[in-house]
Amino acid sequence: MLSMMPFGFLFSFITFLGSLLSLSSIHWLSIWVGLEINMMGFIPLLIYRGLTMETESSIKYFIMQALGSSMLMFGSLLSFNMSLSWEVYQQNMSILGLTLIILSLFLKLGAFPFHFWLPEVMMNISWLNCLILTTWQKLAPVFLLTAMTQSWNYPSIISTLFIMAGMSSLIGGLGGINQTQIRTLLAYSSIGHVGWMAFCALTSESALKIYFLIYALISICLFANLWISDTKSFRHIGTLKSENPKMNQLTLIFILLSLGGMPPLLGFAAKWTAISFSCAISSPALIFPLLLGSLMSLFYYLTLLFSMTFSSSMTLISTNSLNQPNPINPPLSMYTLLTPTIFIINFAGAFLVLATMSLSTDFL
């Protein structure tokens, strides 16, 4: 896709550079600049095909991100007015400024209560942009949230953030039920995973790093599979087998179950890691809404599996439509290599993560 877009690699580089600038900064002004650079590099990637629906999604994305950036700048200015410092790691921050900064990060992440924009944006963009939006675009805000929780101690705000993380997981589970658009389904799944990331950001940075890495790896496998099979939506959540090879069907549902956290796959190892790190720090009751949201997510993935396995009258809708260009069909050899790679990554990765967690627990 990038090779077909004028200056595609340049805009991608700007997108990645902006996030790296924010992650490597300790002052709110440079963090804000990095987030703005990231946004200005990503928006051209959203609209490169010139489709009406993609343009609409890019406008929605721009409005929400601009609002989040404004809240971030205003909150940092309030904190600067109180402490005369732009640094992230400071103890005496304005409560109002701190609240605005936290809300701006949750808005950029697409977490509760600002989750409504993510499905609207994702449902009309390409698979590569979906991958970037659900992984790389969340990297800087979620790790900035971790940096903030390490620099202050406000129990009431931390308790509220735990509630927001749990609600994100519940919204991700409830919103995905009865969805027929795959992009919308994955958007709600992303909201649920953002809840887990926010929970890890409040409890353990190590757990956050492991969880984000596993989530990004599963997402890469998933969106690569969806791009290869050229799928968009299920009219009745039905038969991949009527238009795609059985291996395509098996691989897709295997990745979805891993994303939902089905044992003993890699997604389960990510959630187990988050729970293991957090139990020694926070109350086990705080994990309950996260687990409930994950169970609901796993429920609609299992429902999809049941429909794909036993239904014979349901139809898969391709991304080919009257207002979209014909996609480039990847070579069969790519798909032949992708399928065993996904299986190996899931089982070997889950075993490695769980074994490492067991050894570290015994050591401690």
Residue 52 corresponds to which tokens in the numbers above? 């009406």
Please say if the pLDDT value at position 314 is more than 50: no
Residues 6+ apart with CB under 8 A from 266: 214, 217, 218, 258, 345, 346, 347, 349, 350, 353
Please say if the pLDDT value at position 325 is more than 50: no
To the nearest 10°, report the CA torsion of 140, 145, 149, 151.
50
Residues 203, 230 contacting (CB under 8 angstroms): no
SS3 call for 319: coil
More confident position, 147 or 164: 164
pLDDT at position 80 is 78
Q: What DSSP letter does each residue of 35-99 carry, written as one string?
A: HHHHHHHHHHHHTTT--HHHHHHHHHHHHHHHHHHHHHHHHHHHHHHHHS--BSS-S---HHHHH
Residues 243-262: what's their mean pLDDT?
A: 75
pLDDT category at 356 given cuts 50, 70, 90 is low
User: How far is CA 241 from each of CA 165, 229, 244, 305, rounded to the nearest angstrom?
Assistant: 37, 11, 5, 12
- For residue 223, which of 298, 130, 305, 316 has the smallest C-alpha distance? 130
More confident position, 286 or 125: 125
- For residue 63, which of 113, 107, 28 has the smallest C-alpha distance? 107
What is the residue whose two structure tokens read 């939006």?
133
Distance CA 139, CA 157 (A): 22
Residue 302 corresponds to which tokens in the numbers above? 């299992």
Please say if the pLDDT value at position 90 is more than 80: no
- For residue 134, which of 77, 202, 189, 210 has the smallest C-alpha distance? 189
Residues 55, 124 contacting (CB under 8 angstroms): no
- For residue 263, which of 294, 238, 292, 242 has the smallest C-alpha distance? 294
pTM score, whole prediction: 0.85
Three-state helix/strand/coil letters over 17-32: HHHHHHHCCCEHHHHH
- For residue 255, which of 215, 291, 200, 204 has the smallest C-alpha distance? 215
pLDDT at position 34 is 94
pLDDT tens, 42-79?
999 998 877 889 999 999 999 999 999 999 999 988 88
pLDDT tens, 158-203?
888 999 999 999 999 999 887 878 889 899 999 999 999 999 998 8
Among the residue ranges 97-111, 159-173, 267-281, the one predicted with the least confidence is: 267-281
pLDDT at position 230 is 66
